[in-house]
Structure 1
Amino acid sequence: MSAPLALVTGGAQRIGAAICRHLHQRGFDIALHYRRSEAPARQLADALNAARADSCTLWQADLEQAEDIGRLGKQFLHRHSTLDLLVNNASGFAPTPIAGATEAQFDALLGSNLKGPYFLIQALLPALQPARGSIVNLVDIHAERPLRHFSAYCAAKAGLAALTRNLAVELGPRVRVNGIAPGAILWPEDEEGYDTAARERILAATPLERLGDPQDIARTVAFFALEAHFVTGQVLAVDGGLSLSI
């Protein structure tokens, strides 16, 4: 029998790469999406294909652009009639203090965190529905708990959480839709908004008093996809208890 297929957006690096590796270890073939990170995407695909031949393919698209989403959807459906798992991991993250935020900044965060996942799900429904597939959206604990100066990002993630619950109702019983709300897993790649003092405050507020690991998210994705067959419309915090303290 052919392996189940997972499409992971933003799968080249960081948490996305961990998700790809873990799902691959659990027996999935991987459709690895990237926007600009072609070199790490190819490196990861080569490693997965070395472990199991022809088990990973690359898919490039800018998910903030409707035309790119449409192109990706058409190309994917031309090649695959079914999709077992869609992981909406790709995300934009940037501060937008309200006094100076621009429409372009707001639109970019809304596009990467909400509009992109929405229209990608729409494009891939013809493959998800016959597979009785699963969708896992990467949300954020700050979808419900304010993060100072990141109001546009938080609003977009709150929309994604609402979308998760709404589509669970709309797409059931053929497609399950769940979300994961990470806490402090990896620090942002730049220090803007997360200097040393801020990082120390976050860890001090986390009951487990440490960062999480990308594998914590990857294992939760696999749980929703492979084990939680009677779970839909849920957003699970994977945050070491941080959301209990802020």
Structure 2
Amino acid sequence: MSSVLSKGSRSRAVLAAFGIALLGFVLALPAGLVVANAYVALTGNELGDVAVLGVSMISLQGVAFPLAAWLYIRYRGLSWEYVPFDVPDLSDAKYLFGGWILAFVAANVFAQILIAVLSTEPAANTGATTALQNPGIIPYLAVLQILLIGPGEELLFRGVIQKRLREQFSAWPAILLASATFAPAHILALSGGPVAAAITISVLFVPSVVFGYAYEKTQNIAVPALAHGLYNATLFTLMYIAVTYAPEEVSFLGL
């Protein structure tokens, strides 16, 4: 009997995890309308590619993901204490900086292996494409990765989704399942064929697992949030260097 109940509880946890992720993206639609209209009203300008990129980041990672996290926490009658947060200390540093470096190295090695085996380049990220066409915004995007993108994504996918899964699963199944909700979600921002998209999603799974492990070990959402932000900021920094000094060799894979 207890085994059946356990299986049912685990199934509900998995459904909740994917449901919370879906809620985050659904909420991005009305959030995007509000932010876009506010931009047009305040600036008097139409939405160009750069503005669309900024609106999408603010709407998704800045509004929709935190709102989805808050709604779930409220639904369960909990408080923000559900997501442990503290200023990282020395004991957190090895997971923060180690996670940042490991995610970067592992993702790039894995990407090169997949490209060599499948003989296909990864799918292009539409945000990265916009950045390459407007290189002056890249430094600002790098900063936003640390201040907005990393915190917004980690709050939802690690602080809430992985935490919910951890109530029913041991550490590694929870980390892998949370990453399974995270990596495929990026398909909306990709352009290219199915094989190219599969390569990019597979690569994105790697740093997601690293960030999940960092959260598991530290129980401090600030650690994966900063590691994630630094990882993305590194990619944008390298992009800026490449587009400035070697534009013919530019390639980009990012979270």
In the superposition, the TM-score normalised over structure 1's length comes to 0.34
Structure with max Cα Rg: 2
Which structure has more helix as a fraction of its residues? 2
In the superposition, the TM-score normalised over structure 2's length comes to 0.33
